[in-house]
Structure 1
C-alpha cells in the first residue's frame, strides 16, 4: 500500500470463488504489491464453515500485515476467531442490527443486499460503517451494473455513510464507478480473473483513479 491514503475513491477487493487459499494468497500478495488497496472482502462462496475459516486464517494476516482491512462475510463467529477487521452482513436488517449491537465496538460492520433506495435507507437507519451496492460474483460483464451505479451515486449525494459500488470485469469500469462520487470501488474479476496479472491490474486501477476520480473534501 501507499504510505499516504489517497483523497479519492479507493479499491476494495473481493476474493473470487473456486480458488484455494494458497493460490489466492499468491494472487493477493501480487495485488498488494501493485498499489493502494483499502480493504478485502472474503465471501464464503459456498465453502463449509471449516473450509471458510481455514481460508480466512490464511488471508486475513496477509491483509493486515499490509495495512488492508480484512472483512468476513455473514459469519460473526469466524470474524471473531480470525480477528478480522470487519464483518459484512448481506442477510437483512435484523442481522445487521444484531451485528452492530454486538460487534461494532470491536470491528467495522457493513451492509449489503441492497436492491432499492428503500433497502439502502432501511439499512442506513442502523448506522453501519458502509453500504455495499452490488452482489458478489456478479461482476461478469465489462461494465458496472447500471442499478449499482445509480444507487451508489444517489447514496453518495444524499447520505454520509460511506458507499462501496461494484465495478465490472473490465478495469475501465472503475472510472465510471468513481464518477458517481462513491467512497470505494469494489473489484474482483478485473483483478483476479483468468489470465489477469493482479499486480499490473492494481497498478492500472490506481492510475485510473488517480487520473479521473473526484477528490473528496477534507475536513479541517
Structure 2
C-alpha cells in the first residue's frame, strides 16, 4: 500500500505544520517497531544502487517527497510499488532477494510530488487537514498523549478490529478519488488531455475538422500549455 499525504496551502503559501510526521513516526516506532520502520530524508535513497536499509521493513516514511527525483525515476518508483520481492544490494555482498512487505507513505509540501498518471492503481492521495496548523497547545497535548503507554494500547487494539483490504486487487479498485488525487492525475496528464478537458470545461470544443482541432490545440499550447507539444 502506498499513500501520499500532501499539504501545499495554496500558491505562495508555506507548507508543513500539520503534524503528519509526528504521528507517522510515532506509529512506525511505537506500534510497528523501530526495526520495521525506516524514515527517508533524501529521496535519492529510494533510487540508489545500494538498498539494504529497506530490507524487511514494513513501513517506509518519505519525509518530503521531491518532485524532481520522483518524476525522473518514474519507472523505478513504479516497480518499487508493485514488486513482491526486493533485490538487496549491499557493498561487497552478492545480491539476494527477500519478500517485500513494505508500505510507503510519502509526505510532501510540493504541489506535484509524485508522477500519478492515468491508470494509477498504486497510490492513494490525500491533502492534510490544516485546521490545527500553528496551534501549539494542540500539538503539545498530542505529543503528551502519544507518550502514554495507554495510547499505544488502545490504538493497537483499535487497529486489530479495523477492517482493511483483503488483497492488492481490493486496494486498487477502492482508491478514493479525492480532490488531490484528481488534481495530480490532471497535472501529470499529456497536454492533449489537458487541452481537451479545458475546452470541454469552457464549452469551447469545436465540432470541426481535424485540421481545425489541431490549429486550436496548437493555439492552446502556445497560450496555456507551455509553448511545446508533448
Tell me if TM exceeds 0.5. Answer: no
> If you compute each CA radius of gyration, which structure gives the higher value, 1 or 2?
2
What TM-score, normalized by structure 1, do the two folds share?
0.32
Q: TM-score, normalised by structure 2?
A: 0.31
